[in-house]
Structure 1
Amino acid sequence: MIPDRPLDLGGERFEVVYQLACPADEVEVRARDICVEQTIEFPESLVSDPHILDGIVGQIRSIEPLDRGRFEVVIAYPVEAAGSELTQFINLLFGNVSLKPGVRLVGFDLSDTLAALYPGPRFGRTGLRRLLDVPDGPLLCTAIKPMGLGPRALADLAYRLALGGMHLIKDDHGLTDQGFCRFEERVSLCAEAVVRANRETGRTCLYLANVTAPVGEIERRARFAKDAEVGGLLFCPGLAGFDAMRSLAADEGLCLPILSHPAFQGSFCLHPDTGLSHGVLFGQLNRLAGADATIFPTWGGRFSFTQDECLDLIDGTVRPMGTARPIFPVPAGGMRLDRVSQMCAFYGSDVSLLIGGDLQAHGGDLVASCRRFVELARHSFESGAMRSM
């Protein structure tokens, strides 16, 4: 094998952390397999160029035993292998080895070169607070639903939710451009309704339009939403791609906060010995791709996340990652008003609590239900009974 040009490598590497579930006598071989599979994907014995073997192939930095026949493995990859595209960076993190049993991606760092390529969220926690003029305490989020309502009915919901004191009102992720609720009419009416409520209350509430769509439609819908004066965007990277979300976040013509929704991503993280950790999937990757807040199903709701998994996710929203700002965790999925103090105690004040259907389950006065939500969160914050994250 004769190289067509000498490799020009700077020696800069970044580290990726995996967990392997395997017998102790196999762990080193399996770790080495990751080093090769994720880079050259070619038999090492057939590579004669030492610059490829030493410069391109991943390097094992450490192997540490955990429990239950699991091990933590740290592998360092050259930044050149990641190129300058988010798609290839994610491929390098967990491409082919995602197809192998007993391998779980649990963390990664960003070297200086990668940090410069991926600045992360435009707003993050601090910027979103500034937009809303809410310097401290939990943010309150809700969704317009159920599917089947028309644009005017959803706009009326959005108006009452904003009057009640919600900070963030998002499209339900299942609302796109169905015949019974066309995107452009819904977005225009809901944006206008929230602007009208803001004028009446003197507060700032942001309506976030769902712009998850076929690839050729994403930018058009985002620009329509911007022109309609929405306050932000909802996006499902599991459906349309992390790089599509990154493109929205980087677009200087939009400059809108982005709320990421976890649709289609559950199977990526649910088995403890495969896939992606909750901190990587919902925290680090969302920050890398520019989300300012990340929705996830909280423990104790109608999904199966545990408290430890939720804490790992929270860590992923704040752990050092170059210059990428921390983002808001948005626990959801069965949140109820009677759990607000419990959730505040668990998640702390840098959280956005998302309650959807339960706001409509306490009688006909939706504005009053929202105000109760506001009071419960305020009391929890002012009482000081909140975790420091």
Structure 2
Amino acid sequence: MANGEALKVDRIYVTYKFTGEDPKSIADVIRAEQTIEFPYELAPSWIQEEVVGKVEEISSSDKTSHLITISYNPDVTGGELNQFLNVLWGNVSLFPNVKIVGLKLPDSFLAKFSGPRFGISGLRKLLGAETRPLVSTALKPMGSYAQTLAEMARTLALAGFDLIKDDHSLANQPWATWKERVTLISRAVKEANAVTGGKSVYAPSLNLPFDQIVDAAHTAKDLGAGALLILPGITGFDSLRKIASDDSIALPIQGHPAMLGSLITSKAEGISHGIVLGTLMRLAGADITIFPNIGGRFAFSSDHCLDITELSREKLGKLNPMFVAPAGGMNLGRIPEMIKMYGNDSALLIGGALSRGNLADNAARMCELVRAY
């Protein structure tokens, strides 16, 4: 902080990038808006002191570019994820030219969350992958019948894939209803593992109505699924936290970025890539965070991708670090550079490109390439 002052470890620190004039005024608006949403001068003095956020530092690079750091008493979150997200980005999300670029969380707050159940070391043990990157894919396209998807999954498991997930868009469509799809694919992967002695797992998408999600997670486990795919931008980060922390489910979870793009891609508004797809995914309990790799179908830069990677692995209280899964239009030729960029603690995800030609041959080639590194 200013003058080298150390952070008080029992507060939540949020750094906002503000593009405009008069940063002091916007800082005062934010600190009250994100807590009491009430005129500061009308609040009792103890609320002004204990509840309203405190402006810790304002630094300016020019007249219209400022970094504002505000700290919050963790009690304003109630120790719950939904209210934490509300404090982080609730009403300020309605302000123009404000973006969250920094977040520091105290251990007292982090201790309220379980985070990734497996994390990097736990997933390695579960999948029998001691040091190498994980081999991952998505079952596509929507419109395929459940039996067709199951045979694709069988081929991939026979090739030695670690993780075979539903495409995030697979829900409960008539061509492959959710329960039929999960039943057939889980069975196919189990049968393939019996042949190879492998440990491939299938992760069905919990892209379902909110009141069905927890029951579906239990059903998926009962049907033989070995992991889950959750879309917190659609079903909520707290749905991810609920399922990840449920000891009666206890399956690895992949977090998908669907519908989170508008939260992160603007240069002037939103929240940084790393905080959303790194810190928040991890806080909620994802073991793997999926995001678009540089050079794919989406406009993520190398800095964005490395920011996500850093926050997925850095010390965060006692929460396990998680795997990163760069994806989005990748092909076999990108494997060496992806491993070089992300290291071995990555789950390399190639989907549709595996179907260009013979699926079995491409799947075997991908496994060979990854294991060679």
Equivalent position of 1:30 in the other structure:
26
**1:316 and 2:311 equivalent?**
yes
Deviations 1:94-150 (A, max 9, x none): 110011011111232222321121121111111111110101121111011111111
TM-fit CA distance, 1:31: 1.6
Q: CA deviation at 1:68?
A: 9.1
3-state secondary structure, aligned to 1:326? coil
What does residue 46 of structure 2 align with?
Answer: 51
Structure 2 unpaired stretches of 5+: 1-8
How many Å apart are 1:17 and its aligned residue?
A: 2.0
Secondary structure of the corresponding residue to residue 273 of structure 1: coil
1:75 paired to 2:70: yes
Q: Partner of 1:218: helix, strand, or coil?
A: helix
TM alignment of 1:295-334, pairs within 5 A = 295-334=290-329
Equivalents in 1 of 2:60, 2:244: separation in Å?
39
- Given that 1:107 and 1:279 are in contact with CA atoms closer than 8 Å, whether structure 2 keeps it comes out as no
Instruction: Specify the alignment match of 1:121 in structure 2.
Output: 116
Amino acid at match of 1:29: S
Residues of 2 paired with 1:66 and 1:122: CA distance? 41
Deviations 1:36-80 (A, max 9, x none): 111111111222x21111111111222233579432222110111
Task: Please list, as runs of the form range in 1=range in 2, the aligned pairs for 1:3-22 lying within 5 A after superposition.
Answer: 12-22=10-20
- The amino acid of 1:15's aligned partner reads Y
Determine helix, strand or coil for the equivalent of 1:75. Answer: strand
Counterpart-to-counterpart distance in 1, 2:50 and 2:369:
56
CA contact 2:11–2:105 (8 Å) conserved in 1: no
CA distance in 2 between partners of 1:276 and 1:191 (Å): 37
Whole-Å separation in 1 of the counterparts to 2:266 and 2:143: 34
SS in 1 for 2:129: coil
Is contact 1:103–1:273 with CA below 8 Å preserved after alignment? Answer: yes
Residue segments in structure 1 that go unaligned for 5+ positions in a row: 1-10, 382-389
**Aligned equivalent of 2:260, options 242, 252, 265:** 265
Aligned match of 1:101? 96
Give the structure-2-normalised TM-score. Answer: 0.95
Deviation, 1:159, is 0.3
Question: Matches of 1:64 and 1:309 in 2, distance apart?
Answer: 23
How far, CA to CA, are the matches of 2:61 and 2:300 in structure 1? 21
Is 1:188 aligned to residue 183 of structure 2? yes
1:169-225 C-alpha deviation (Å, 9 max, x unpaired): 001111111111111111011011111111111121110011121111101211110
What amino acid maps onto 1:14 in structure 2? I
User: Matched residues in 2 for 1:129 and 1:240: separation?
Assistant: 28
Give the structure 2 partner of residue 179 of structure 1.
174
Give the TM-score, by structure 1 length. Answer: 0.91
Q: Give the stretch that moved more between structures: 12-21 or 49-58.
A: 12-21
Query: Which amino acid letter does the alignment assign opposite residue 306 of structure 2?
Result: L
The Cα offsets for residues 12-40 of structure 1, whole Å up to 9 and x where unpaired, read as: 422122222223xx112212221111111
Q: What number of residue pairs does the alignment pair up?
A: 365
Aligned twin of 1:372: 365
SS in 1 for 2:210: coil
Partner residue, 1:234: 229
* Over 3 Å off, 4+ runs: 65-69
Rounded Cα–Cα distance in structure 2 between residues aligned with 1:372 and 1:346? 20
RMSD of the TM alignment (CA)? Answer: 1.5
Cα 1:66/1:298, change in 2 over 3 Å: farther
Q: How far did 1:375 drift? A: 2.1
Q: Which residue of 2 aligns with 1:60?
A: 55
Distance in 2 separating the partners of 1:370 and 1:73: 49
Q: Is the 8 A contact 2:119 2:287 kept in 1?
A: yes
Cα distance in 1 for partners of 2:331, 2:179 equals 31
Counterpart CA distance in 1 for 2:344 and 2:64 is 37
Which residue is 1:149 aligned to?
A: 144
SS at 1:107 equivalent:
strand
Identity over aligned pairs, percent? 44
Distance in 1 between residues matched to 2:24 and 2:310, nearest whole Å: 28
Aligned to 1:387: none
